[in-house]
């Protein structure tokens, strides 16, 4: 993990013997030393004379730190460079700025870039070495690509993954990960880009104690922390205290600020020789961190680090929007499902039927394991729920202990010890009362999430010595261990609770208005019938116009085009003949589209002629009718097992099978086409939660054809929707599945598909048993 993972060691320990109560009060901003890959000069804010220097100036400059005290920067820099600093000085604050000049006056020494900021009554001049690897680091094309990907991401995890990939591309670290904080301040790795031979950290969790409060405050002030070599020996400040204040200087914003020796040992234990950590801040609070690791020392230039910090700030500015995208997507799904459910409730004679007899049911509104509709002593269970007896006991508990209109919990056992028996199906409960009468509730259940949390190392960081002293030390092992959270479900979101309240209010409104609106409804129905008759007449007129007034001119265009081709083709050039042929083809297609539209209109307007149907006989009729085409295309139709006898409209169900079998034959490029027809058995229904054999007959037509990409599963049922060009797979208008869907829905059922591209398709349709 990054420096943030053990960030209480991201500070210099003044003593190795402290107690745990001191951990959150450790003076992490005054380590009194720097990382020796560069050197530091602290200048008095008014006189601009050096009052402190890091002791490694002798090694890097050939000038001992005491010899620099009292001098000005002119001892190291040219007059032009000193003037550049004087010009920049009034604009400086706590944010470090890279000076556009280099230290090159000291003969025989490496070039150094200069980083300046003002803080704690001092001008801080930090000098980093200039190497070939860090020059010309800013790649605008790379930055443009990074920002483009980040802006285009609509989900949080996608956004995070783009960010770690771009930071790794920019810096070349072996591993870059994003660590997100939870509400309890523990954290989890949610995105990672790494060298292929490294073990993954994705999904690892870390306890909140890894980052004490004062360390979190530091990360809010200082966006980026960098350790190019974890094996360094700190270079102390000379003298240790600022002579003007007689105390150690506040190094909060110093780029070279040294870190704790415990943290360095920690990095050594985990095989990390260089690290960089970027704060991710959402609305003033630490949201997470980008953490970078390398197995060998790695000096990343200040320009590149500044670019990464810019990406971190960009991430911080956008993360709220990305989280809102995720929330809005789920909220939209809840809203759409809720609207359809309430339509069922409003249109059903008995509102209870509208809650569970049609999809979506009350269970489908939220992400949950199961639901129960409890009204007038009847308990209807949907999905994975407690038993009838357990639900009755829960209702009794709710009436006595939770009389409010809405009750929710993610740990029922914390309210009622008897809930221990319900935890596999109902650790979490959302309950809304439906009326003043006792026992009338809607219930949603969430199972126990026995959260297998993979912790990175043991959740301890202290060793008690023999004399009672406590010595803080990094974890000696990073083997994952499990922590199980029992009797707890995923929490209920505020949007889910609000939606449950809205459902309750809507049901209450429906029940209260029913009696008062009966007479008014009768009057409205009479008026609506008159308007409906007029609309039907107008629709019939439209059908006549579409079938006669539109089709006749089309037929004339088609016929005259054929006459021209037959009688005058030899007088036309190739382009003229081609255009006439196109006109013939387009007029035929337009006539087919009009026919499809009329057929769909008739399906919606005509009532079902319900009769007892032997589906085996009906299927034989359809197969006999299509036999010549099956023989021509080498198609075999198999019936998995005898089909049931049902109630339905023979004409329309014959059309359903005809359309589905024709599609199965048409959309296949195999030399031997095989189509299987069957009814879903009880055993198969148990494996498919969406199949309800108590209220529906469910049939399927399965083929070995070209299959359908899952992203098109919903769009193929739209009118005139085709996934292929008009001249492929036998043409057609694209209306067949829309017509089949309409016919099935008239039978109170639904039509859906299961398919993977290249692996065939299975079309399911359900028919209500209550016709």
Percent of the chain with pLDDT over 70: 76
Residue 686 pLDDT class (50, 70, 90 cuts) = low
The more confidently predicted of residues 550 and 327 is 327
Comparing 23-37, 239-253, 694-708, the range with the smallest average pLDDT is 23-37
pLDDT greater than 50 at residue 470: no
Q: In sequence order, what are the residues at sequence separation of 6 or more whose Cβ sits closer than 8 angstroms to the Cβ of residue 238?
A: 52, 53, 54, 55, 65, 66, 69
Q: Are the C-beta atoms of 126 and 53 separated by less than 8 Å?
A: no
The two beta strands, 205-206 and 235-238, are unpaired
pLDDT at 483: 57
Q: Are the C-beta atoms of 275 and 293 separated by less than 8 Å?
A: yes
pLDDT greater than 70 at residue 22: no
pLDDT at 55: 95
The two beta strands, 50-54 and 235-238, are antiparallel
pLDDT at 691: 66
DSSP 8-state secondary structure symbol assigned to residue 546: I
Q: Using one digit for the tens of pLDDT, what is the confidence trace for 140-158?
A: 777 787 788 888 888 899 9
The more confidently predicted of residues 553 and 245 is 245
- For the segment 104-129, the average pLDDT, to the nearest whole number, is 83
H helical segments located in 261-347: 261-269, 302-347
DSSP 365-430: GSS-SEEEEEETTEEEEEES---HHHHHHHHHHHHHH--SSEEEES-GGGT-GGGGGGHHHHSEEE
Q: Are the C-beta atoms of 114 and 241 separated by less than 8 Å?
A: no
pLDDT at 464: 39
d(CA 744, CA 765): 7
- For the segment 380-401, the average pLDDT, to the nearest whole number, is 93
Q: Using one digit for the tens of pLDDT, what is the confidence trace for 149-191?
A: 888 888 899 999 999 999 999 899 999 999 998 877 888 899 9
The more confidently predicted of residues 413 and 479 is 413
pLDDT at 525: 66
Q: Using one digit for the tens of pLDDT, what is the confidence trace for 607-659?
A: 777 889 999 999 998 888 888 888 888 999 999 888 999 998 888 888 889 88
d(CA 663, CA 736): 9
The two beta strands, 50-54 and 122-129, are unpaired
The two beta strands, 673-679 and 645-649, are unpaired
Q: In sequence order, what are the residues at sequence separation of 6 or more whose Cβ sits closer than 8 angstroms to the Cβ of residue 73?
A: 41, 43, 48, 50, 81, 82, 85, 125
Residue 551 pLDDT class (50, 70, 90 cuts) = low
pLDDT greater than 50 at residue 288: yes
Q: Using one digit for the tens of pLDDT, what is the confidence trace for 430-457?
A: 999 987 667 889 999 999 876 556 666 6
Rounded to whole angstroms, what are the CA distances from 72 to 86, 242, 564? 12, 16, 99
- E strands, 592-692, are 610-614, 635-639, 645-649, 673-679
pLDDT at 277: 93
Q: Are the C-beta atoms of 302 and 115 separated by less than 8 Å?
A: yes
3-class secondary structure, 719:
coil
3-class secondary structure, 519:
helix
Q: Identify which of 33-37, 321-325, 727-731 has the greatest average pLDDT.
A: 33-37
pLDDT at 172: 93
Q: In sequence order, what are the residues at sequence separation of 6 or more whose Cβ sits closer than 8 angstroms to the Cβ of residue 74?
A: 82
Residue 3 pLDDT class (50, 70, 90 cuts) = very low
Q: Using one digit for the tens of pLDDT, what is the confidence trace for 709-739?
A: 887 677 677 655 454 444 454 455 556 787 7
pLDDT at 392: 93
pLDDT at 481: 43
Nearest 5°: phi and psi at 398? Answer: -60, -45
H helical segments located in 137-273: 140-152, 156-171, 213-221, 261-269
pLDDT at 466: 41
3-class secondary structure, 493:
coil
Nearest 5°: phi and psi at 390? Answer: -65, -35
**Mean pLDDT, all residues of the chain:** 80
Residue 396 pLDDT class (50, 70, 90 cuts) = very high
Give the residue among 35, 544, 55 at the shortest CA–CA distance from 297. Answer: 35
Q: Are the C-beta atoms of 156 and 327 separated by less than 8 Å?
A: no
pLDDT greater than 90 at residue 347: no
> How many residues would you count in the chain?
771
pLDDT greater than 50 at residue 12: no
pLDDT greater than 90 at residue 327: no
Q: Using one digit for the tens of pLDDT, what is the confidence trace for 562-621?
A: 777 777 777 778 787 777 777 766 666 566 555 555 555 555 556 777 889 999 999 998
3-class secondary structure, 228:
coil
The more confidently predicted of residues 508 and 612 is 612
pLDDT at 655: 84
**Number of other CB atoms surrounding residue 529 within 10 Å:** 10
Q: Are the C-beta atoms of 96 and 121 separated by less than 8 Å?
A: no
Under the phi-then-psi rule, with left for phi > 0, alpha for psi from -120 to 50, and beta for the rest, what region is 86? alpha
Q: Using one digit for the tens of pLDDT, what is the confidence trace for 509-526?
A: 776 655 455 455 556 666
Comparing 9-18, 64-73, 190-199, 220-229, the range with the smallest average pLDDT is 9-18
The more confidently predicted of residues 502 and 487 is 502
Beta bridge partners of 763: 701, 753
- For the segment 238-253, the average pLDDT, to the nearest whole number, is 92
pTM: 0.57
Residue 259 pLDDT class (50, 70, 90 cuts) = confident
The two beta strands, 673-679 and 635-639, are parallel
Q: Are the C-beta atoms of 2 and 292 separated by less than 8 Å?
A: yes
The two beta strands, 112-119 and 406-409, are unpaired
DSSP 26-66: --TT---EE-TTSEEEEEETTT--EEEEETTHHHHHSS-HH
Residue 43's Cβ-count burial label (10 Å; 0-12, 13-18, 19+) is buried
pLDDT at 689: 60
pLDDT at 598: 57
Rounded to whole angstroms, what are the CA distances from 462 to 12, 23, 185, 423, 465? 17, 10, 19, 36, 10
pLDDT at 173: 96
pLDDT at 80: 85
């Amino acid at each position: 993990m990054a420096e943030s993972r053990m960030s209480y060691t991201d500070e210099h320990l003044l003593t190795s013997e402290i107690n745990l109560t001191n951990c959150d009060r450790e003076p992490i901003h005054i380590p009194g030393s720097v990382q020796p890959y560069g050197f530091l000069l602290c200048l008095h804010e008014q006189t601009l004379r050096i009052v402190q220097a890091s002791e490694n100036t002798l090694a890097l400059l050939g000038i001992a730190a005491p010899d620099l005290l009292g001098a000005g920067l002119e001892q190291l820099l040219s007059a032009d460079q000193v003037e550049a600093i004087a010009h920049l000085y009034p604009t400086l604050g706590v944010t470090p700025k890279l000076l556009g000049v280099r230290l090159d006056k000291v003969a025989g020494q490496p070039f150094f870039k200069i980083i300046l900021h003002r803080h704690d009554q001092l001008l801080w001049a930090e000098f980093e070495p200039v190497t070939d690897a860090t020059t010309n680091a800013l790649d605008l094309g790379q930055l443009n690509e990074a920002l483009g990907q980040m802006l285009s991401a609509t989900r949080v995890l996608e956004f995070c993954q783009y960010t770690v990939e771009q930071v790794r591309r920019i810096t070349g670290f072996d591993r870059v990960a994003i660590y997100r904080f939870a509400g309890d301040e523990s954290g989890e790795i949610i995105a990672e880009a790494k060298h292929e031979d490294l073990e993954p950290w994705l999904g690892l969790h870390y306890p909140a104690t890894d980052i004490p409060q004062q360390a979190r405050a530091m990360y809010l002030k200082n966006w980026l922390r960098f350790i190019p070599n974890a094996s360094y020996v700190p270079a102390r400040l000379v003298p240790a205290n600022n002579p003007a204040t007689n105390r150690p200087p506040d190094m909060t914003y110093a780029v070279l600020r040294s870190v704790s020796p415990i943290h360095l040992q920690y990095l050594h234990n985990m095989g990390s020789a260089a690290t960089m950590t970027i704060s991710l801040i959402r609305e003033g609070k630490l949201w997470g961190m980008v953490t970078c690791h390398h197995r060998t020392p790695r000096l990343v230039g200040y320009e590149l680090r500044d670019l990464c910090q810019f990406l971190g700030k960009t991430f911080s500015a956008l993360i709220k929007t990305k989280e809102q995208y995720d929330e809005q997507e789920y909220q939209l799904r809840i809203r759409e499902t809720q609207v359809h459910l309430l339509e069922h409730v409003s249109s059903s004679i008995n509102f209870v039927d509208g809650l569970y007899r049609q999809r979506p049911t009350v269970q489908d509104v939220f992400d949950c394991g199961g639901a129960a509709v409890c009204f007038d002593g009847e308990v209807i269970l949907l999905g994975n729920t407690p038993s009838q007896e357990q639900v009755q006991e829960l209702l009794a508990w709710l009436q006595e202990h939770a009389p409010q209109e809405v009750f929710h919990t993610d740990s029922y056992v914390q309210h009622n010890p008897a809930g221990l028996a319900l935890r596999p199906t109902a650790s979490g409960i959302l309950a809304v009362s439906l009326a003043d009468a006792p026992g009338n509730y809607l219930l949603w259940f969430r199972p126990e999430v026995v959260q297998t949390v993979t912790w990175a190392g043991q959740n301890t960081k202290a060793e008690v010595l023999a004399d009672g002293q406590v010595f803080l030390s990094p974890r000696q092992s990073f083997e994952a261990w499990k922590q199980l959270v029992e009797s707890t479900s995923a929490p209920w979101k505020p949007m889910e609770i609000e939606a449950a309240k809205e459902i309750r209010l809507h049901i209450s409104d429906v029940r209260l208005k029913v009696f008062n609106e009966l007479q008014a409804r009768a009057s409205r129905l009479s008026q609506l019938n008159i308007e409906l008759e007029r609309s039907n007449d107008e629709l019939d007129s439209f059908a006549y116009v579409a079938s006669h007034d539109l089709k006749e001119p089309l037929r004339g265009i088609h016929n005259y085009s054929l006459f021209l081709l037959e009688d005058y083709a030899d007088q036309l050039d190739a382009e003229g003949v081609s255009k006439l042929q196109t006109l013939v083809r387009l007029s035929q297609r337009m006539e087919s589209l009009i026919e499809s539209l009329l057929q769909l209109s008739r399906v919606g307007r005509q009532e079902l002629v319900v009769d007892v149907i032997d589906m085996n006989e009906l299927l034989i009729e359809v197969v006999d009718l299509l036999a010549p085409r099956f023989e021509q295309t080498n198609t075999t139709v198999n019936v998995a097992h005898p089909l049931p006898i049902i109630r339905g409209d023979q004409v329309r169900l014959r059309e359903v099978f005809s359309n589905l079998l024709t599609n199965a034959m048409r959309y296949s490029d195999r030399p031997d086409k095989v189509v299987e027809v069957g009814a879903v058995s009880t055993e198969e229904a148990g494996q498919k939660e969406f199949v309800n054999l108590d209220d529906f007959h469910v049939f399927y037509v399965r083929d070995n054809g070209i299959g359908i990409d899952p992203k098109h599963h919903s769009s193929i049922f739209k009118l005139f929707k085709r996934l292929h060009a008009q001249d492929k797979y036998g043409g057609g208008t694209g209306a067949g599945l829309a017509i089949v869907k309409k016919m099935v829905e008239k039978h109170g059922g639904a039509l859906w598909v299961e398919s993977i591209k290249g692996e065939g398709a299975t079309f399911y349709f359900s028919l209500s048993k209550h016709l």
